[in-house]
Structure 1
Amino acid sequence: MNQNSPKYVALTFDDGPSAYTAAILKILKRYNVRATFFVVGAEAEKFPKLIRRIHRAKHVIGNHTWSHPDITTLSKRELWKEITSTNIQIEKIIGYSPKLFRAPYSSINDTALAAIKELGMTSVLWNVDSQDWREEDPLAICKYTIKNLQEKNLIVMHDGDRYGSGARDQIVASLPKLIKYLIKNDYQFVTVPEFHRVAYKIEGWP
């Protein structure tokens, strides 16, 4: 890692909003960090106040489909419905529609990618998986994430608890530790659109 070049980190949260999102928003506010939330349409419909809070705090909101399917199993029409219904729901709550899309389970293929592009959306994956969906120990999440850090990091975490990952207490507990480490080690926090500008285009990762 070149010591002189700037180090970037974009924190991203998938599958929400949920009851855990409020705690995550408080932590981000405490450390003055902006993040990107890839929200599920059905959860946005249930928790519009949390969507408004994410938006008010100037975090970026992205689209994570309406019902969290494996999009590679869908027809183009079904995929478009998943994406557009989520965009409509988010626009109804905050007045604008996301331009970023993240595929559930990181499951994506060329057909889906082309369909997403046709809708004018940018597909976003990641290059650091926090393993928060698998690990129950907050310290293990921190250590695993830190061990895999690069110069330019797009980290995936989860604030939603409905899609196979169970409770989110461990990510809430690990987040302050991780943020403190990143601050201490001179990482600059960016949102995904900023990451695209200052780091590099990430189409097709990993």
Structure 2
Amino acid sequence: MTAGAGVAAAGAAGAAGVFLWGEDDKPVRAAAPAAGAPARSLPLKPSAYRLQPLTGYGPPRAAPGRTPVRHEPLLRMTGRGRTMVLTFDDGPDPRYTPGILDTLAHYDVRAMFFVCGEMAADNQELLGRMADEGHIVGNHTWSHPLLTRLTRRRIRSEMSRTSDVIEEGYGERPRWFRAPYGAWNRDAFQLGAELGMEPLAWTVDTLDWTTPGTGSIVDRVEKGAAPGVVVLSHDAGGDRSQSVRALGEYLPRLLDSGYHITLPHRRYT
């Protein structure tokens, strides 16, 4: 990621909206920061042999929820208490992702990994580990392009190919999407929704891709910590050893301070 791309990402994220989910499950713009959503384990896969009610018995089945087409990405999660979401982009990378997974496992914490298809295709075993350990895997396109410069057909290809690879290694298709560099456009929102994905940006950018030093990354996370915050870090795309070390420092401090690291929950599905 280049310095110019970082500026684009920060600008795009800053312009995005903050939403809450209301009682009618429709997004409502929030006037102030809200707490993060409660932790949720990955849904169990339905058995092919599950018994079904006989015809005419049992409550009618509800129609599957349709992913809304948003005009801005979600920036923070809602809920109660001091909850935060940790996200890692651009991987999986066998040099750094295992270290991040080890730290998360040590503290029994779940996170989100927005993976690139070309990386995921070569590291399917890491997707499997993420699934086994209860993490969420999101779509970060196939080759990390600037979507605002692509045709609609190319954007669809970048998304759908990545979703296919995620399903193969993770066991289910992704429900979350993040645009590279935080650069969103109408086609990205529409195609993401067609593929069943919600757009998620971030609240706190660690700027770890600039390799500012482990201490600087830790400082940005701790100063930005607040209920509902979504933290952006990276586990690939360059030397991410600082990111791995930083997680080992700020995660126990957040937990000791009373924060609960959680995962977002899509209420309408």
TM-score range relative to shorter protein: 0.7 to 0.9
Q: Give the CA RMSD over aligned residues.
A: 1.8
- 144-153 or 174-183: which moved more? 144-153
- The equivalent position to 2:123 in structure 1, one of 38, 41, 47, is 47
Aligned-pair CA distance for 1:152 = 1.4
Identity among equivalent positions (%) equals: 37
Asked if 1:114 corresponds to 2:184, the answer is no
Aligned-pair CA distance for 1:158 = 0.2
Give the TM-score normalised by the residue count of structure 2: 0.67
Q: Give the SS at the match of 2:209.
A: coil
Q: Would you say the 8 A contact 2:115–2:141 is kept in 1?
A: yes
Q: Which digits, 9 at most, give the CA deviation of each residue in 1:48-84, with x for residues without a partner?
A: 1111111111101111001100111111111111111
Could you tell me which residue of structure 2 aligns to residue 188 of structure 1? 260
Could you tell me which residue of structure 1 aligns to residue 67 of structure 2? none
Aligned-pair CA distance for 1:35 = 0.4
Q: Distance in 2 between matches of 1:99 and 1:174?
A: 28
Q: Distance in 1 between matches of 2:170 and 2:254?
A: 31
Could you tell me which residue of structure 1 aligns to residue 76 of structure 2? none
Q: Would you say the 8 A contact 2:91–2:115 is kept in 1?
A: yes
Q: Which digits, 9 at most, give the CA deviation of each residue in 1:74-122, with x for residues without a partner?
A: 1111111111101111112232110110101111123322232233211
Q: Give the SS at the match of 1:133.
A: helix
- 48-57 or 10-19: which moved more? 48-57
Asked if 1:14 corresponds to 2:89, the answer is yes
- The equivalent position to 2:163 in structure 1, one of 69, 87, 102, is 87
Higher Cα Rg: structure 1 or 2?
Answer: 2
Q: Distance in 2 between matches of 1:106 and 1:66?
A: 15
Please tell me the residue identity of whatever aligns with 1:77: R
- 105-114 or 175-184: which moved more? 105-114
Aligned-pair CA distance for 1:137 = 1.0
Q: Would you say the 8 A contact 2:131–2:171 is kept in 1?
A: no
Q: Would you say the 8 A contact 2:214–2:245 is kept in 1?
A: yes
Q: Which runs of 5+ in 1 are unaligned?
A: 198-206
Comparing both structures, which one devotes a greater share of its residues to helix? Answer: 1
Q: Distance in 1 between matches of 2:211 and 2:118?
A: 26
Please tell me the residue identity of whatever aligns with 1:124: L
- 141-150 or 169-178: which moved more? 141-150
Could you tell me which residue of structure 1 aligns to residue 64 of structure 2? none
Please tell me the residue identity of whatever aligns with 1:188: H
- The equivalent position to 1:105 in structure 2, one of 181, 191, 194, is 181
Q: Give the SS at the match of 2:229.
A: strand
Q: Distance in 1 between matches of 2:241 and 2:167?
A: 29
Q: Would you say the 8 A contact 2:103–2:248 is kept in 1?
A: yes
Q: Distance in 1 between matches of 2:153 and 2:203?
A: 29
Q: Would you say the 8 A contact 2:130–2:170 is kept in 1?
A: no
Give the TM-score normalised by the residue count of structure 1: 0.86
Q: Distance in 1 between matches of 2:109 and 2:167?
A: 24
Q: Give the SS at the match of 1:86.
A: helix
Asked if 1:143 corresponds to 2:215, the answer is no
